[in-house]
Amino acid sequence: MKSLYWQTPPAPYWKLSKDRIGSATAGEARLMTTAFITGITGQDGQYLAELLHGKGYRVFGLISGQRNARAETVASALPFVELVEGDLQDLASLIAALEYSQPDEVYNLGAISFVALSFKQPELTANISGLGVLRLLEAIRLVGGSPNPIRFYQASSSEMFGKVRETPQSELTPLHPRSPYGSAKVFGHHTTVNYRESYGLFACSGILFNHESPRRGQEFVTRKVTSAVARIKLGLQDEVALGNLDAKRDWGFAGDYVQAMHLMLQQPEPDDFVIATGQTHAVREFVELAFAAAGIDDWERHVRIDPRFFRPAEVDLLVGDASKARRVLGWAPQMSFDELVATMVAHDLEVEQRKLA
Ligand code: GDD
């Protein structure tokens, strides 16, 4: 990976957002819309980068750390992404990264996103998933000036609803987080709204319910299960250890959800939107369906309950009301729950079979 931090932007980098083209000189007129994505190595970052690239965007991705192993993965899987070094914990690096990439749209998907980890590293979680949002908004405010042409998307989360006050949950449901992760996301969410109201930034918050795919990390329950199911099917292991099977989640497909992120930034006004399927399933149902998709009926024989995977406080039930997104953005999920489970199991069977070959 090339180090970009200390370089000054190459010459005709200067670009203007769509609504500023009117006053641009010929030399200044932009050729491509540019997006800047934090969390580029994650599931959502990858789907979003592909979506935007397909729409003709120039795509920059923020990469943190020294010899970040996942940067190599992104470089080979998404060769069109231009990687920029920086960290959500370091305001100066964010300013430099934005000055370098001159984005029209910034998508903040970077976070400590694993709820269980947030209980073990609460301060780090608050710093990256909470204060990181503030730093990025400050960087946008400083780099974009006034009126600020940079549009901002914040990855808010249904974890913010926590101990839910109503069902289904909408943009108006009161927040009651149940984890350091949820609390950090609440801070990021309110900060996004505050920058919109204080400085007139085009800042949107997408309150996304759980969204999965074959690209999901194996620490999350869905991929942990589908990966184990594939290995059990092939005789490579006999059981999988899980925690609370009674928790209920509204699970959708990540590829559908990144479309909503993009749509939010194309609206005439910034706003907040719940993105969800409107259906909820217990973890137990996911497990049963995943085993069934691999042709295994006696799933209970292969599942061991392990207290290590229970959390100090649980979010028992999530189900979203995405009617505002449907009405305003024209967004609706495309992939059903059954299809999602089947797709993930099929992918993991293929991965494990390839390893055996
Ligand atoms: N990870 C995990 N591992 N979860 C388990 C396990 C296990 O072995 N056993 C049961 N669960 C339960 C968890 O207790 C939780 O209730 C549910 O499965 C889902 O856990 P995760 O897949 O880890 O996701 P999450 O709901 O905590 O958080 C995800 O969704 C949020 C949106 O609501 C993450 O993607 C967050 O980053 C995201 O904001």
Neighbours of 56 (CB within 10 A): 9
Residues 6+ apart with CB under 8 A from 120: none
- 285 in ligand 1 pocket by Cβ < 6 Å? no
Residues 6+ apart with CB under 8 A from 127: 89
Question: Looking at 181, 227, 257, 352, which residue is catalytic?
Answer: 181
Q: In terms of CATH architecture, what is 221-249+279-318+335-356? A: Alpha-Beta Complex (3.90)
pLDDT at 188: 99
**Token digits for 86?**
């920086």
Q: Is 213 helix (H, G, I), strand (E, B) or coil?
A: coil
Which ligand 1 atom is nearest residue 306's CA?
8
Q: What is the pTM of this model?
A: 0.93
Which ligand 1 atom is nearest residue 310's CA?
14
- 311 in ligand 1 pocket by Cβ < 6 Å? yes
- 314 in ligand 1 pocket by Cβ < 6 Å? yes
pLDDT at 67: 83
Residue 152 and residue 137: Cα distance in Å, rounded? Answer: 8
Of residues 259, 264, 250, 243, the one with CA closest to residue 314 = 243
The yes/no answer on whether domain 31-212+251-275 falls in CATH 3.40.50.720 is yes
- 138 in ligand 1 pocket by Cβ < 6 Å? no
Amino acid identity, position 80:
F
157 catalytic? Reply is yes
Which value, in Å, is the radius of gyration of the alpha carbons in the chain? 21
Residue 47 and residue 250: Cα distance in Å, rounded? Answer: 20
- Ligand 1 centre and the CA of 13: distance in Å? 41
Residues 6+ apart with CB under 8 A from 221: 242, 283, 286
159 catalytic? Reply is yes
Which ligand 1 atom is nearest residue 157's CA?
39
- 284 in ligand 1 pocket by Cβ < 6 Å? no
pLDDT at 65: 86
Residue 229 and residue 232: Cα distance in Å, rounded? Answer: 5
- 189 in ligand 1 pocket by Cβ < 6 Å? no
Q: Are 82 and 61 in contact (CB under 8 A)?
A: yes
pLDDT at 217: 97
pLDDT for residue 165 is more than 80: yes
pLDDT at 31: 76
239 catalytic? Reply is no
Q: Give 24-39 as a 3 state SS string.
A: CCHHHCCCCCEEEEEC
Which ligand 1 atom is nearest residue 311's CA?
14
Q: Give the residue-averaged pLDDT of 291-308.
A: 98
**Token digits for 142?**
């400083």
Please state at what angle helix 180-199 crosses helix 132-144, rounded to 10 degrees.
20
Question: Which tens digits make up the pLDDT trace of 62-104?
Answer: 999 888 889 999 999 999 999 999 999 999 999 999 999 999 9
pLDDT at 5: 41
- 224 in ligand 1 pocket by Cβ < 6 Å? yes
pLDDT for residue 16 is more than 70: no
Residue closest by Cα to atom 27 of ligand 1 = 115
Q: How many residues does the chain have?
A: 357
**Token digits for 300?**
């209970």
Residue closest by Cα to atom 37 of ligand 1 = 113
Domain boundaries, the chain: 31-212+251-275, 221-249+279-318+335-356
pLDDT for residue 249 is more than 60: yes
pLDDT for residue 278 is more than 90: yes
Whose structure tokens read 């909470």?
A: 130
